[in-house]
Amino acid sequence: MTIRSIVPKELDYYYSNWQMSPGLACGDFIYMTGFTGSDRNGDVPADPETQFRSAFRKIGLVLAEAGLTYNSLVEMTSYHVGLRDHLELFKKVRSEFVVEPYPAWTAIEVAGFVAEKAVVEIKAVARRQSHSW
């Protein structure tokens, strides 16, 4: 089985600075690293909604680089600082990106992230081919 890094130009700093792939194609699946709402300099917007949109946009960049869309997502795990404080807002933003069939989703409360002001990190798995049941 061939394993290939998926590195959109805008996210190349993950590969070069952190030595990790924004996405990794393995068989029919694309495994994505966890994305926060920080920019390439590590700056994090104060507004949680802006952070959520930025993290989902990064997922979209990896999907697009792999020739996929959000409807290819099969699993998502979101890690939150202050989960109960912004869960409804997160669900609202998430609904703008995630489409049917909805991926499996787990939301987990955490103490913090590398980017100090980050309130969310999202990792996801996508499937390249649809399965007919």
DSSP the chain: --EEEE--GGGHHHHHHH---SEEEETTEEEE--B-S--TTS---S-HHHHHHHHHHHHHHHHHHTT--GGGEEEEEEEESSHHHHHHHHHHHHHHH--SSPPEEEEEE-S--SSTT--EEEEEEEESS----
Assess whether pLDDT exceeds 90 at residue 131: no
- Whether omega for the bond prior to residue 8 falls within 30 degrees of 0, making it cis, is no
- 47-60 per-position pLDDT tens digit: 999 999 999 999 99
In a domain, 133, yes or no: no
In a domain, 83, yes or no: yes
Do the beta carbons of residue 103 and residue 75 sit within 8 Å? yes
Assess whether pLDDT exceeds 90 at residue 73: yes
pTM here?
Answer: 0.94
How many domains is the chain built from? 1
Give the model's confidence band at 130: pLDDT under 50 very low, under 70 low, under 90 confident, else very high.
low
Task: Give the rounded percent of residues in the chain with a pLDDT score beyond 90.
Answer: 89
Enumerate the β-bridge partners of residue 124: 76
Beta strand pairing status for 23-26 and 3-6?
Answer: antiparallel
- 84-114 per-position pLDDT tens digit: 999 999 999 999 999 999 999 999 999 999 9
The residue segments making up the domain with residue 74 are 3-127
Distance CA(45)–CA(113), nearest Å, equals 14
pLDDT of residue 1: 77
In a domain, 11, yes or no: yes
| Mean pLDDT across the chain | 94
Give the model's confidence band at 133: pLDDT under 50 very low, under 70 low, under 90 confident, else very high.
very low
pLDDT of residue 42: 83
In a domain, 132, yes or no: no
Task: Give the rounded percent of residues in the chain with a pLDDT score beyond 70.
Answer: 97
- What CATH number corresponds to the domain at position 92? 3.30.1330.40
pLDDT of residue 41: 83
The amino acid at residue 52 is F
In a domain, 19, yes or no: yes
